[in-house]
Amino acid sequence: MGSWTNATPPATGTRSGILRPDEALRHFDRSILEPADDVSRWVEHYWSVRWSLPPGTTYRSVVLTHPSVHLTVESGTTPHYGFAMPAALVNGVVTRTFEIDLSGDGRAFGVRFRPGGFGAFTGRPVAELTDRAVPASEVLGPSDLLERVLPLDHDVDRARTMDAFLRERAPAPDPTYERLLDLVAVMLADRSLTTVEAVTERTGVSLRTLQRLFRRYVGVGPKWMLRRFRLHDAVSMIDAGDRRDLASLAHELGWYDQAHFTREFTDLIGVPPSEYAGRAPVSPGRGGAAGPRAG
């Protein structure tokens, strides 16, 4: 695996995640923006969500999360996951699904860091943030981030302001992090990799080294990441209208059999894959920690 120090980082994530995306985007507006080239070393993309719901109504947004830390600037007429608005927050990796009941008016602008990107950017282990949302000042120190971003109405202006904010705090390149991203890119792209043992054979990286890198930079283990990538594949294929039999889908994505796939899918999403494919509502109450996992 080669270095990309002077090149564009490899793809380390997808833009899937919102369950029932066609239905969800009737309740809020979402946009994705690219970071500046020099910031993309750590940042996958920026995302923005706005909503304005009639009085007395709510919409539950459910997101199959990514192995990423998010930095968000948020505002609204109601608190978001226990924090008074407006707020700048750091949201660790959410290990189950993320759920939020949207109501009133609100807006969130987020930075989705690459897997391991926040750990490389801050120089601190990120496992302590897993399944948690905390004020950004607790992690990044005092800043004028809210004052710089909130007055800006256009998402492009917010993105360029966030570029500048991150650029001001950018650390030196980290070759170990670059090595991790090469590993993540392989795990994302190669659907035949369904076990950690297969990853070690494919990359030549030992299990101990793999586990150490993930513990330090990502906040979840390599097995979790593999399973989450394959679940993203399954949900995206179903949402795109793939109607092959579930046994074939499960086999292609690495489950031992359809029963194991169905059990894991149901435990996380709240309904079996057959019902999800039939457009049944996603069951509430299966989510994890707070944080706007719209990205």
CATH number at residue 81: 2.60.120
DSSP letters along 204-215, please? ---HHHHHHHII
Residue 257 scores a pLDDT above 90: no
Per-residue pLDDT, 240 = 87
Predicted confidence band of residue 4 (pLDDT cuts 50, 70, 90)? low
Residue 292 lies in a domain: no
Q: Which of 147, 168, 189 is the last residue of a domain?
A: 168
Residues 31 and 67 in one domain: yes
Query: Structural domain of residue 33, as residue ranges?
Result: 21-168
**What is this structure's pTM?**
0.91
Q: Which amino acid is at 254?
A: G
Residue 206 lies in a domain: yes
Residues 69 and 90 in one domain: yes
Question: Would you give the DSSP letter of residue 128?
Answer: G
pLDDT in tens, 99-140: 989 999 999 999 999 999 999 999 998 999 999 999 999 999
Number of structural domains (the chain) is 2
CATH number at residue 244: 1.10.10.60
Residue 13 lies in a domain: no
CA-based end-to-end distance of the chain: 28
